Amino acid sequence: MAREVISTGNELAAKAAVDAGVRFFGGYPITPSSEVMHVASDLLPAVGGTAIQMEDEIGGISAALGASMTGTKAFTATSGPGISLKAEQIGLGFIAEIPLVIINVMRGGPSTGLPTRVSQADIGQAKYPTHGDYASITLCAGSLTECYTQTVRAFNLAEKYMTPVFMLLDETIGHMHGKAMLPDMEEVEASIVNRAQFDGDPADYRPYDVPMNEPAVLNEMFKGYRYHITGLHHGAEGFPTEDAQQCEYNIERLVGKINAVAAQNDGLDDLPDYEEVDMEDAEVCIVAYGSIALGAYEAVKKLRSEGIKAGLFRPIMLWPSPAKRIAEIGEKFGDKIMVTELNMGQYSDEIERIIKRNDFTRLLKANGRPIAPAEMVAKVKEMM
């Protein structure tokens, strides 16, 4: 039976982490994500977990990575400037294959930007948050309920693919206070994914000796299975190497375990990577995600009440993008697509890359203010 709660997006994300089995938070306060840390610091000790405020964002993610290395599910939370500071350690998470969830409650940027205003300008950052070659997984909540359900999913994906996973909220949805319908705890517990473990002879343990497009198998520390963790390229046991063939294999596998698997399986798990509203008979398609999608729902209703058959496509997993479905939408709607987002077109560029045309409409805003349904309605009418 579903649980009905009144809460904010930030609070629900922290609650989801605890319900997903997380027992460690390491971070540093920053607007507009601080409530995630505040709630985690209340909830974790009650279940035997730990929440620690470090000296800065770098210390926060370092502590969380260390906790994850011991087999403890861990996360950190911040906003765009904090992600910038965490970038080097995010790279360590990618190359060493340490599962971690990073919650980013987006605000206006760059630099200090607009700390108390809404933005979706960290979309590109979530795809490439650090230097080098790798593939990232990024989920984006489109409702208060999804602040909870997609956060649970983020931890499952991190454990399954042994990688940092980004969970995006934005200032509006993070601070929005309202009703959310949460799955019951039995359903949540049944869905939980834990990282694979090697249970053979410790002498045979090779954590990084795995097939192409498969994640590493990192056993918990202090259990008798010895291996090395480094930010350098490494061989089967984790010790540094500059062997050209091994280094190429490492990178191809890091990218392939996410991008190749997603392309082959049309997603990374059994949960939907997107939502569609009134798309069956639609003649014009609005593409929106995050809090802006809440206004897009209203815009679709208004347009249909006025005789314009509009539909909504809302990506939930932004990276890797649901490219197959986006390509189909491009074929069906052509130039009758409107992408609306709170940045200068970061996801619009992904749409253009996939559908191979740039004559669709973009409704963008980057001044820290939301896009109202009436603005979306007016823009669609200009297209017709």
Domains located in the chain, CATH noted: 1-271 (3.40.50.970), 275-383 (3.40.50.920)
Question: Whose structure tokens read 């940027």?
Answer: 109
Q: What is the pLDDT of residue 222?
A: 87
Orientation of helix 57-69 relative to helix 80-96, angle to 10°: 30
Contact criterion met (CB below 8 Å) for 352 and 361: no
What is the predicted pLDDT for the residue at 281? 98
Question: What is d(CA 282, CA 94) in angstroms, rounded to the nearest whole number?
Answer: 40
| CA dihedral (300, 116, 25, 165) positive or negative | positive
Tokens of 346: 């970061």
Instruction: Point out which residues pair with 46 in neighbouring strands.
Output: none
Report mean pLDDT in 10-residue bins for the chain, 384 residues: 93 98 98 98 98 98 97 98 98 98 97 97 98 98 98 98 98 98 96 97 97 97 92 97 98 98 97 98 98 98 98 98 98 98 98 98 98 98 95
Measured over the CA atoms of residue 372, residue 111, residue 230 and residue 251, the dihedral's sign is positive
In this structure, which amino acid lies at residue 82?
A: G
Distance separating alpha carbons of residues 178 and 12, to the nearest angstrom:
11
SS3 (DSSP) at 108:
strand
Model pTM score: 0.97
Structure tokens at 348: 């619009």
pLDDT of residue 145: 98
